[in-house]
């Protein structure tokens, strides 16, 4: 046996699983095809929105809160600063999925929210165009997280706890009765349990499981404040936001680095990516038309022509939920897929749960809605926001 646990794919979920497994004192090997903090999967782009209450439901909010504690533990252990709390501003109509969803989850979990009426939003956040009847909700425990730095730090801490990293593509994962074989071009490794966290490549590695995972094209874009408007977009003045307006759910982060103000759309209908390794880094003009229109109409103090952009991928399930668990037919595997365009914030917790599942076969987290077997017989469809 080469190790107690193998982790395949060291992006957001896998790097966290590597760190959390090693931190529990287990012998673990990680496998990554493109190196640490690379820009070819779903986890690059220098920032991700962090929210402690998510409109999707209490299970995701519980993971986000568990992750917040783990991000702080990562920071304390490493001396790095990865999670920056700017507060989170959600703007929309009171009965919109965004606002109603947040209210419901906050009521269920007891998390504090601050409410602003339309006039108050205009006064405190003049950067945003609000329309009649809009309200805003502030979640004080929100902000942004730096993904590449977080992943690199997880590798470092995992290795300090004794984890090994193999710089290779895994060609095949073969579950057996008492172990799992992990095949690379160089050699085959044997581990007690394998955590598979291969993001957009997951279905290629696990063709024998009833997973419904579709990688889709997504884009990243950054915008500059118009001359004289820079002070409106600092982290102090412009919290991380989500805004339902002009038929879109837009989101954004303040200017904290040379890339400027990051704005995106919760857009899950990008074209299907058949070969994730061939996803384009470059972005064509037509791909940015909707985010440019959103910026022009709702953030008039930004220049609507992006100063930077890049290609990315999200991995969708039919119900837009994560896939976290041990498949019934293969008890030596743990499947971790936390994407659907909003999983970075929870990834520390997803990795922690993955480590628990791999080492004990169970977790105290409520994983019922994330079961890897839920598409074995049927598919369902619901809406979702970041």
- Report the interface residues with ligand FAD, using CB under 6 A: 8-14, 31-34, 41-43, 48-49, 169-170, 197-201, 205, 218, 220, 264, 312-314, 337-339, 341-345, 386
Rounded to 10°, the helix 12-23/58-78 angle is 60
- The distance of closest approach from Cβ of residue 52 to ligand FAD in the complex, given in angstroms and rounded to an integer, is 11
Give the contacts of 216 (CB within 8 A, at least 6 positions apart).
268, 269, 270, 271, 272, 273, 313, 314, 315, 316
Question: Is the alpha carbon torsion for 178, 179, 180, 183 positive or negative?
Answer: negative
* CA 343/CA 49 separation, integer angstroms: 10
Nearer to ligand FAD by C-beta: 118 or 183? 183
Using CA atoms, how far residue 304 sits from 97, 130, 219, 295, 309, in Å, is 27, 18, 15, 6, 13
Nearer to ligand FAD by C-beta: 125 or 251? 251
Nearer to ligand FAD by C-beta: 91 or 200? 200
β-pair partners for 47: none
- The distance of closest approach from Cβ of residue 155 to ligand FAD in the complex, given in angstroms and rounded to an integer, is 11
- The distance of closest approach from Cβ of residue 120 to ligand FAD in the complex, given in angstroms and rounded to an integer, is 25
- The distance of closest approach from Cβ of residue 277 to ligand FAD in the complex, given in angstroms and rounded to an integer, is 8
* CA 6/CA 31 separation, integer angstroms: 8
- Three-state DSSP state, 262: strand
Q: Is 124 exposed, middle or buried (0-12, 13-18, 19+ CB in 10 A)?
A: middle
Phi, psi of 3 (to 5 degrees): -165, 160
Give the contacts of 311 (CB within 8 A, at least 6 positions apart).
217, 218, 219, 220, 279, 280, 281, 282, 283
Nearer to ligand FAD by C-beta: 13 or 137? 13
Nearer to ligand FAD by C-beta: 26 or 324? 324
- The distance of closest approach from Cβ of residue 228 to ligand FAD in the complex, given in angstroms and rounded to an integer, is 28
* CA 360/CA 376 separation, integer angstroms: 25
- The distance of closest approach from Cβ of residue 248 to ligand FAD in the complex, given in angstroms and rounded to an integer, is 14
Nearer to ligand FAD by C-beta: 229 or 290? 290
Nearer to ligand FAD by C-beta: 201 or 375? 201
**Is the CB of residue 265 less than 8 Å from the CB of residue 292?**
no
Nearer to ligand FAD by C-beta: 241 or 344? 344
- The distance of closest approach from Cβ of residue 169 to ligand FAD in the complex, given in angstroms and rounded to an integer, is 4
Q: What residue has token string 């809605």? A: 369
Residue nearest to ligand FAD (CB): 11
- The distance of closest approach from Cβ of residue 8 to ligand FAD in the complex, given in angstroms and rounded to an integer, is 6
């Amino acid at each position: 046996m080469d190790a107690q646990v193998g982790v395949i794919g060291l992006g957001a979920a896998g790097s966290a699983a590597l760190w959390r497994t090693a931190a529990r004192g287990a012998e673990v090997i990680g496998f990554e095809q493109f190196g640490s903090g690379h820009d070819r999967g779903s986890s690059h782009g220098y920032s991700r929105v962090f929210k402690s209450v998510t409109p999707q439901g209490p299970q995701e909010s519980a993971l986000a809160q568990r992750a917040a504690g783990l991000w702080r533990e990562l920071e304390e252990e490493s001396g790095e600063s990865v999670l920056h709390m700017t507060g989170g501003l959600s703007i929309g109509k009171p009965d919109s999925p965004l606002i109603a969803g947040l209210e419901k989850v906050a009521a269920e979990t007891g998390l504090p929210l601050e409410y602003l009426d339309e006039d108050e939003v205009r006064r405190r956040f003049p950067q945003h165009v609000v329309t009649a009847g809009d309200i805003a909700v502030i979640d004080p425990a929100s902000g942004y997280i730096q993904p590449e730095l977080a992943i690199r730090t997880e590798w470092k801490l995992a290795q300090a706890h004794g984890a090994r990293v193999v710089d290779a593509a895994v060609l095949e994962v073969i579950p057996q009765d008492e172990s799992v074989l992990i095949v690379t071009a160089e050699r085959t490794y044997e581990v007690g349990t394998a955590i598979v966290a291969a993001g957009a490549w997951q279905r290629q590695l696990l063709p024998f499981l009833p997973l419904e995972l579709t990688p889709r094209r997504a884009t990243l874009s950054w915008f500059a404040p118009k001359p004289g408007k820079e002070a409106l977009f600092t982290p102090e003045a412009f919290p991380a936001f989500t805004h339902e307006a002009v038929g879109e759910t837009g989101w954004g982060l303040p200017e904290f680095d040379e890339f400027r103000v990051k704005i995106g759309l919760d857009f899950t209908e990008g074209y299907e990516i058949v070969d994730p390794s061939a996803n384009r880094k470059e972005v064509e003009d037509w791909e940015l038309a909707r985010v440019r229109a959103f910026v022009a109409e709702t953030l008039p103090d930004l220049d609507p022509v992006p100063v930077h952009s890049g290609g990315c991928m999200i991995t969708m399930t039919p119900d837009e939920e994560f896939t976290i668990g041990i498949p019934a037919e293969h008890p030596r595997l743990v499947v971790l897929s936390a994407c659907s365009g909003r999983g970075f914030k929870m990834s520390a917790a997803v990795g922690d749960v993955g480590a628990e599942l791999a080492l004990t076969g169970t977790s105290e987290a409520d994983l019922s809605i994330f079961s890897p077997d839920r598409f074995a017989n049927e598919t369902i469809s619901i809406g979702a926001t970041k």
